[in-house]
Structure 1
Amino acid sequence: MTTDSLHSHPTETNATGLSQSAAPSASDTPVDAAELPLDGGLPAADLPPGWLAVNALDLEAQGVARRPDGKVVFIDGALPFEIVSAQVNRKKNNWEQATLTEIHRESSQRVRPGCAHFGLHAGACGGCKMQHLQVSAQVAVKQRVLEDNLWHLGKVKPENLLRPIEGPAWGYRYRARLSVRHVVKKGTVLVGFHERKSRYVADMQECPVLPPHVNAMLMPLRELIAGMAARDTCPQIELACGDSVTALVLRHLEPLSQGDLDRLEAFANQHGVQWWLQSKGPDTVRLMKPGGPVLSYALPEFGITMPFKPTDFTQVNPHINRVLVTRALRLLDVQRDERVIDWFCGLGNFTLPLATQAREVLGIEGSETLVARSRENYSANQATRSAGEALCPTGFVARNLFEMTPEMLVADGYADRWLVDPPREGAFALAKALSDLHQQHLAQPGSLPTGWNAPKRIVYVSCNPATLARDAGLLVHQGGYRCVSAGAVNMFPHTAHVESMAVFERTDAWL
């Protein structure tokens, strides 16, 4: 809705069901919201009582405003540069949490959500938090979150900003964990994400962030589970899509009857999916009907195919992953005579493409299972390549990377370049071990083992800007590196999740 329409309709309802008004709700002096500054710089004291000027979004996609006394208010559903009213749900000494109730001036970046289940209403799905914000603006917000974290937490300012990596905004989510709930009072089965701020499963009839063929299966899945004898003991369905195979992992707390197995098989034949069954922990996951095509995804630019199991960690968004791998390797700029270490290598998402460019690669990962899978993937890909395109010698090691020491780092040998792709906890122990070696080098030149040096370049792929900023602060201020570039990656459109990439280069302090 535009500002002009607000002028012509003093009170209307927008796409999220919120009231929008061009007149003050709690003031004797009429105020035209359209005449208020657009830069978020309006003093809070100049607003009518109860009105709030939103000037930012936080990491949870909540609008951030300040009251006249300086208290911060986090507002669910509000966007920067909006003038709003809100219902306070929680109060602390220095901040409040609130929910948007009325928009007096709407952001030009506010859009109609693409999913009927998104919003602030009772029962709304909690899977997405930013569908009301235009996609390019979402990316801009995430880029700003990255820059703010690097500076405020790490005191690091990249020398260059990378262009954000973007891709399809809908139908991108190839990995998902869908909760299942038989609601006896309603006489139905629910399959989907949880309601916002609730343990209840949302009554989802569609989900446009899922691939179209999976979106079309939501209602048939509900009917399937409702017709099963085990409908009360199947709490979860995990989705894993490959390039040509869709796998569904059914968590079942009790053994399934033959009748239920027959229903699952009929569903698989009708919808072209593979059922995997999980009776207890992840190690119990098994293919219901052995044989058939293998679950995998391709990295065509490198001639790599990655088989995986549905419970293995793979990126949610395969479209972005292809671009992410390509950019990471371009920024790392590996030469044919160089050795590379891929830290937190997983099942080889970066390791195998690196093996098409380097002299030698070492992949290090905490999970023994993923290390075994990465070795299998390396062998399988090596077997399909011609002699002139063979992958370089590549080793894989299982190790707890949250307990790295300088001694362990030296024992891994000199690598010209590093690729670091940690989980949300970041790579603090690794960054600290490298920084400790640098401090040792400064205090005692020549004390490092002969032939060992810090990597010339590090590309760090992050899924948490706060831990990236912490680790970047170590590398820049104690580790002898400069942050030459950083940029956001919109791996999860419509969510507040911020994926990013940063590049570090060794300074002359190591020489």
Structure 2
Amino acid sequence: MNPIVDILSLDHAGHGIARIDGKVTFVDGALAGERAEIAVYREHAKYNSANAIAILKASSQRAEPRCKYFGRCGGCSMQHLEASAQVAAKQRVLEDTLARIGKVKPDVMLPALHGPSWAYRTRARLSARWLDKKGGGLVGFREKRSSFIVDMTSCEVLTPDVSKLLLPLRELINALSNADHIPQIEVAVGEHVTVLVFRLLAPWTDDDAVKVRAFADQHRVQIWEQAKGPDTVRPFWPHIAPELSYSLPEFGLVMPFRPTDFTQVNVAMNRALVSRALRLLAPQPGERIADLFCGLGNFTLPLAKSGAAVLGIEGSAELVARARENALHNNLANARFALDNLFEMTPEKFAALGPFDKLLIDPPRSGAIEMVKSLPEAGAPQRIVYVSCDPATLARDAEVLVHTKGYRLEAAGVANMFPHTAHVESIALFER
């Protein structure tokens, strides 16, 4: 007999939390305040993992998932929770994590940044798999807790044009001789072109190439191919096409990029995040500002528009080259870029860069602990804006900034970069 439980709260991944004989049980598909019949699929020493198989008393915040694959697809985990409640839950995650890990509390919680909840995703990595038993291939996202691919023909969070390509892509792969040697298709949507990067473990034949070109022409996309590592990515068809780019209209900037470059998946939310970061940092002409983990210049170039002298530092040579190209493209001579491994920053290396009035830090999930430890006791930047994609590492770094380096956490808040997922993007302001 399946247990019936009351859901007490939500965890940081969007699972309901219940107790069975005192043992914590994380329930996929259940919301706080609900009563649910559950099936435990894994027992651990200190907790259980379970699925909700029937909701006996529903939360007032429960929503009808728009996607017919929700519950099977691993791409979204929170479509059953009303959109504004998702954002409120993420704000609580940020507050709780800052307090628990960083022992810090912001003076002000910033209003959450909202954007479109559907059709927002301009970047995706689609899995592809040839199934001999079924005599065909699948293209889409993986199932929850599985390496299998969902048998899907649409996606509510991909842009509509890309969603409509899922079935044609499956049909294309089924027609290719190397179908069982295409494990992945990376999608990059720009303002003027959509690029599909096919990972090829075996090359296309001449007959395959004809079919791929016809597909690209019919669906008005550009096909790239990748034989091995990222350095093997190259355009396949058509050879002449608009370049990928996104824009930041508030700052009059156009940002070209390659399909394998890191860019945010949600264009509207990226614009809102850049705008907030610039308002918080308040760059002024004559100031010297560093943009750390600068990528292709997403924050560096808007900062340079203020008239400040901006140094972007990045650990990827390819992204540094792209950032320099983008500065030239936008006629910003006051934006300079340097290649350096910020994960190995030391006080001596940071001092050698010269003094900065302000910092913008936008690290990957692993955070910027060596960077914040390297800040000097005297002459440190007066203001830091920290953009984070992981509240835990933000909180860890905030503890150093506040309790060791003499900063105050003035403000923090979330940006709903990935609606319907548990991913928490956030921004924090530290003042010396």
Range of TM-score over shorter length: over 0.9
1:369 alignment partner AA: E
Following superposition, the deviation at residue 261 of structure 1 comes to: 1.2
* Pairwise CA distance, 1:208: 1.1
Contact 2:283/2:308 (8 A) holds in 1: no
AA aligned to 2:328 is: S
What are the superposed Cα offsets for residues 150-194 of structure 1, whole Å, 9 maximum, x if unpaired?
000001100001111111111101000001111121122100000
Note the alpha carbon deviations across 1:46-69, whole angstroms, 9 max, x for none.
Answer: xxxx43221222222111122353
Deviation track 1:230-282 (CA, whole Å, cap 9, x = no partner) reads: 11111110000011110000111112111111111111111110100111111
Name the structure 2 match of 1:275: 223
- Choose the corresponding residue for 1:410, options 347, 351, 359: 351
What one-letter code is carried by the residue in structure 1 that aligns with 2:343? F
Amino acid at match of 1:466: A
For the Cα contact (< 8 Å) 2:315–2:340, is it kept in 1?
Answer: yes
1:131 to 2:76 alignment:
no
- After superposition, residues 94-173 of structure 1 pair within 5 angstroms as 94-119=46-71, 124-173=72-121
How many residues align? The count is: 431
Q: Secondary structure at the match of 2:106?
A: coil
- Find the counterpart in structure 2 of residue 401 from structure 1: 342
Distance 1:335 1:457 in 2: 12
Residue segments in structure 1 that go unaligned for 5+ positions in a row = 1-24, 27-49, 383-390, 439-447, 507-511
Percent identical pairs in the alignment equals 56
Conservation of the 8 A alpha-carbon contact between 1:339 and 1:358:
no
Q: Kindly provide the CA deviation profile for residues 328-357 of structure 1, in whole angstroms up to 9, marking residues without a partner as x.
A: 101111111211100000010001111101
Greater alpha carbon shift after TM alignment, 476-485 vs 289-298: 289-298
The letter for the 1-side match of 2:359 is W
In the other structure, the counterpart of 1:90 is 42
| 1:21 corresponds to | none
SS at the partner of 1:232? helix
Picking from 30, 39, 64, the partner of 1:78 is 30
Shift, 1:94, TM fit:
2.4
- Mapped pair 1:181 → 2:134: no
Aligned equivalents of 2:42, 2:263: Cα separation in 1: 37
The residue number in structure 2 matching 1:430 is 371
Aligned to 2:304: 355
The residue that corresponds to 1:201 in the other structure is 149
| Pairing 1:359-374 to 2, within 5 Å after superposition | 359-374=308-323
Cα deviation code 1:373-406 (max 9, x no counterpart): 1111111111xxxxxxxx3522111111111111
Matches of 2:271 and 2:220 in 1, distance apart? 25
1:214 is aligned with what amino acid?
Answer: V
* Partner SS for 1:288: strand
1:211 CA drift (Å): 0.4
Distance in 2 between residues matched to 1:371 and 1:413, nearest whole Å? 20
SS of aligned partner of 1:487: strand
What CA distance in whole angstroms lies between the structure 1 residues aligned with 2:116 and 2:233?
31
Query: Would you identify which runs of 4 or more consecutive aligned residues in structure 1 move more than 4 Å?
Result: none
Distance in 2 between residues matched to 1:264 and 1:166, nearest whole Å: 38
8 Å Cα contact 1:361-1:392 kept in structure 2? no
Aligned-residue offset at 1:416: 0.8
- The residue type paired with residue 212 of structure 2 is L
Q: Distance in 1 between matches of 2:33 and 2:136?
A: 42
Higher mean displacement: 408-417 or 140-149: 408-417
Q: 1:461 aligns with which of 364, 377, 387?
A: 387
State the alpha-carbon separation in 1 of the partners of residues 244 and 194 from structure 2: 8
Task: Pick one of 504, 507, 510 that aligns with 2:430.
Answer: 504
Identify unmatched segments of 5+ residues in structure 2: none
Aligned equivalents of 1:60 and 1:193: distance in 2? 19
Query: 1:165–1:489: 8 Å Cα contact kept in structure 2?
Result: yes
Separation (CA, whole Å) in 2 of partners of 1:218 and 1:143: 34
Q: After the TM superposition, which residues 300-319 of structure 1 pair with which residues of structure 2 at under 5 Å, given as runs?
A: 300-319=249-268
* Match status 1:489 vs 2:415: yes
> What SS is found at the alignment partner of 2:180?
coil
**Cα contact 1:63–1:80 (8 A) shared by 2:** yes
- Residue 370 of structure 1: SS of its match in structure 2? helix
Maintained 8 Å contact 1:360/1:392: no
CA contact (8 A) 1:340 1:358 kept: no
Deviation at 1:89, TM superposition (A): 2.0
Find the aligned partners of 1:294 and 1:91 in 2 and give their Cα distance: 50
Provide the TM-score with structure 2 as the length reference: 0.98
Q: Could you tell me the TM-score, scaled by structure 1's length?
A: 0.83
Equivalent position to 1:232, from 180, 186, 190: 180
Secondary structure, aligned partner of 1:137: helix
Of 194-203 and 256-265, deviating more is: 256-265
